[in-house]
Structure 1
Amino acid sequence: MRIRIRHEIIQRLDPGTRNMAVTVRLTPRAHEGQFILRWALDLSTDCRLSPQEDAFGNLCHTFSVDGPTDRLAVIAEGEVETQDTTGFVRGTVERFPPSLFMRQTDLTEPTAAVAAFAAAIEAPAEEPLARLHALMVALHGEVAEAEGPAMGDPLGAAAALEAGRACSAGIAHVFTAAARHLGLPARHISGYLAREGDAEGEGSARHWAEAYVPKMGWIAFDPGRNLCGTEHYVRLAVGLDALGVAPLRSTGLDLEETVSALDGRAPMKAAQAQSQGQN
């Protein structure tokens, strides 16, 4: 499947801002089932992008904004060829052993409620894949997916579970927190979900989770949609939680994102913008 992606971020800065360091994670890497046909970054300011990799192997770019200015725009655009791997994630850059992804964060803290939810999963401990599927099904029924900024300021695991509604990133926090509590390495993924066929919508930025199964490897789970990864997903960045995969990190103020991720066979429509807070 060929997916066309356009992701624009416009950030409001303090008036008169003269110097600011910015890091963006908006460049996907190729792996089995995902091939980057073309990809480009464009900025509203005249500066030099410095490519680098973060600790997890994500492709990043850093640059400095030399003002004065009160606005920053970053546009990532390209095409990605994907294939269905039935959820298996292979050929990725792996800087750490799976055991690192047992580490909890402030956003995935296993509170008493999260621990109780994980303990109630009905699947044998000796069958990790079955436990993960049971966790995804249970979470899909427990926390409804709400509209909201997938790449903005999502709820932590405890807050998402208590609210019973969260965006895809908040739901992924519950999944990773519960999986780790059950002794199963899990990590947070950012990326894009393409519009399927002639369905309405422009696709979206999205978060999901990957969990490690011994002798099988990493498998993508999207509990918000109650399914494993398909060819409609484009994987962008990996981390311990949503903060670690934030597409843009700076000291700016509010930001606005516009995202389209379309089947290459579908006509491109005008994208819808959404405002959100900065992590």
Structure 2
Amino acid sequence: MLLTVQHKTIYRYDMPMRSAVQSLRLFPSRFEGQHVLSWQVEVANGLRGASFRDGAGDKVEGWSVRGPLNEVVVTVEGQVETADLAGVLRGHREMIAPEAYLRDTAATEADHALRQIGADALAGSGGALDAAHRMAAAIAEAIAYRPGVTHAHTTAAEALALAEGVCQDHAHALIATARAQGIPARYVSGYLYASEDGTPHEAAHAWAELYLDGLGWVGFDPANRCCPDERYIRLGSGMDARDAAPIRGIALGAGQENLDVTVALAAVQQ
């Protein structure tokens, strides 16, 4: 599938700020499931800094904006050709050992309920892959998709107790469940094309990857009850949503920040 991306993030401030510094993880991953035809990331009036690939294979680029400033505008435009690998992250180069992703974070610490979901999935499974699918299905059943009931700092255990949440909560809950059973798991940020009629739409998305012996990293998206396919563009990964955030940074000054994000994907006729 040939997908075009238009992504704009605007940070607005109610009084002039002295400067801003950002770390951007807004570049498609390099693996067999996606091929970048064009990609451009810009920060309005910004100075591009150093870029590098971290141990997880994700490209990170630094930017700075000198003040006084009332807003910071980050734009992404590009075109990516994708293929369905049934969720398997084949051909992706990275240096971090999978065992590093067994460590809990505040957002992904499992409580008794999450541990029980994992134990039940393993007990009735026919192997690691089947268990992973069972965990993802159980999380999808336990947490109904409902925007607005959780927030950026909601933990996996809190979302499960609420029985509602968004894709971030589904991913955190699956990660917590898998790690509690000794399966390395991580958070993935990216885009999802889900429009039936081909029109652009809001498409920022997140899912989880579990490391399974014999397959490597495999993606699972409980929010949509599937594994990532040709509709997905993978950007980067981390221990949790905060660690994998596409944009991280700080603005110096006393102003209050307001965030506006628009993301649209469209399929190009081939």
Distance 2:49 2:122 in 1: 49
* Aligned-partner residue type, residue 221 of structure 1: F
**Does the C-alpha gap of structure 1 residues 17 and 149 become closer, same or farther in structure 2, counting only changes over 3 Å?**
farther
RMSD: 2.2
Contact in 2 for aligned 1:195/1:262 (Cα 8 Å): no
Contact in 2 for aligned 1:195/1:203 (Cα 8 Å): no
For the residue of structure 2 that corresponds to 1:129, the secondary structure is helix
1:207 corresponds in structure 2 to: 206
Greater RCO, CA 8 A, separation 6+: 2
1:273 corresponds in structure 2 to: none
| 1:257 correspondence with 2:256 | no
2:154 corresponds in structure 1 to: 155
Return 5+ residue gaps in structure 1 as ranges.
267-279
Query: 1:4-23 residue pairs with structure 2 within 5 A?
Result: 4-13=4-13, 15-23=15-23
Distance 1:174 1:46 in 2: 37
Distance 1:6 1:149 in 2: 27
**Does the C-alpha gap of structure 1 residues 194 and 154 become closer, same or farther in structure 2, counting only changes over 3 Å?**
farther
Sequence identity percentage: 33
Distance 1:199 1:154 in 2: 33
Distance 2:153 2:34 in 1: 27
Distance 1:217 1:208 in 2: 16
2:66 corresponds in structure 1 to: 66
Query: What TM-score results when the alignment is normalised by the length of structure 2?
Result: 0.91
Residue 14 of structure 1: CA displacement?
A: 5.9
| 1:133 correspondence with 2:130 | no
2:38 corresponds in structure 1 to: 38
* Aligned-partner residue type, residue 73 of structure 1: V
CA offset digits 1:132-182 (Å, max 9, x no partner)? 1111111111101123599x8252211111111111011100000000111
**Higher mean Cα deviation, 106-115 or 51-60?**
51-60
**Higher mean Cα deviation, 214-223 or 49-58?**
49-58
Residue 187 of structure 1: CA displacement?
A: 0.9
Query: What TM-score results when the alignment is normalised by the length of structure 1?
Result: 0.88
1:28 corresponds in structure 2 to: 28
1:276 corresponds in structure 2 to: none
Distance 1:126 1:184 in 2: 15
Aligned length: 265
Contact in 1 for aligned 2:37/2:81 (Cα 8 Å): yes
